[in-house]
C-alpha cells in the first residue's frame, strides 16, 4: 500500500459512520433506512447462527471495513459478510483482504443507470479482490437476490421468493430463505 493509501486508511479509522476508499478518496455512505437495515440484519443474523452451529468462518454485520489493494479501490464495507478466519484473528483493526462472501443490499442511491453501473462496478471489484460470492439484494424493484460467483461472474443466479438462497462455495452448507426478507 502506498503512503497515500496508508494515510487514507488512517483517516478511514477516524470516520464516523460508513465509508469506503474508492479511486483514491474516502466515499461516505448515507445511513441505511429501516428496510435496508432490516434486510441486511436478517442475513447477518442467519450467517451468525450458521457460524455458531457449524463454524468454518466468521459472520459480520454492516459497517466492517475490509482493506484490499485494487487499482481503483482500497476498501469495502458490505452490509453483511463471511470471512474464512477464526474470531480470535479479528482485532481492533480493519480486516486485511476481501471477505469470502459479501452482501450488498440496494438502497435508493442504487437506482437509475448511474446507480446500476455503480453496483455492477462494486460487484466486479469484490470478485477482482478474491471474494468468492457476492449477493446483490434488490427487494425494492425485483424482490430478488442475484448471486454472483467468482467461478461464473457473468452468469448470476437469481433467487426469488420461495427459494432457498446459498453462498456456495464461500459458506458451505448455509441456506437462507428469501422469504425471510419480507415482513
Parse the chain into domains and list their residue ranges.
32-181
- The structure's pTM equals 0.91
The band of 142, judged by pLDDT with boundaries at 50, 70 and 90, is: confident
Class of domain 32-181: alpha beta
Is-contact 65 12, C-beta < 8 A? yes
Digit-coded pLDDT (tens) for 5-53: 788 888 888 888 888 889 889 888 877 788 888 899 999 999 999 999 9
Amino acid at each position: 500500500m502506498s503512503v497515500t493509501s496508508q494515510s487514507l486508511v488512517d483517516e478511514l479509522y477516524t470516520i464516523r459512520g460508513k465509508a469506503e476508499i474508492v479511486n483514491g478518496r474516502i466515499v461516505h455512505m448515507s445511513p441505511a433506512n429501516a428496510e435496508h437495515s432490516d434486510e441486511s440484519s436478517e442475513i447477518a443474523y442467519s450467517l451468525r447462527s450458521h457460524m455458531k452451529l457449524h463454524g468454518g468462518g466468521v459472520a459480520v454485520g454492516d459497517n466492517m471495513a475490509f482493506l484490499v489493494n485494487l487499482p481503483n479501490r482500497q476498501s469495502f464495507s458490505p452490509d453483511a459478510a463471511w470471512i474464512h478466519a477464526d474470531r480470535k484473528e479479528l482485532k481492533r483493526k480493519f480486516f486485511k483482504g476481501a471477505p469470502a462472501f459479501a452482501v450488498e443490499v440496494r438502497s435508493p442511491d442504487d437506482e437509475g443507470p448511474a446507480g446500476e453501473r455503480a453496483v455492477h462496478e462494486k460487484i466486479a471489484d469484490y470478485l477482482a479482490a478474491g471474494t468468492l460470492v457476492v449477493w446483490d439484494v434488490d427487494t425494492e424493484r425485483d424482490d430478488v437476490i442475484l448471486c454472483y460467483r467468482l467461478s461464473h461472474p457473468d452468469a448470476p443466479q437469481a433467487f426469488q421468493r420461495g427459494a432457498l438462497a446459498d453462498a456456495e462455495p464461500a459458506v458451505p452448507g448455509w441456506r437462507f430463505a428469501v422469504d425471510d426478507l419480507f415482513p
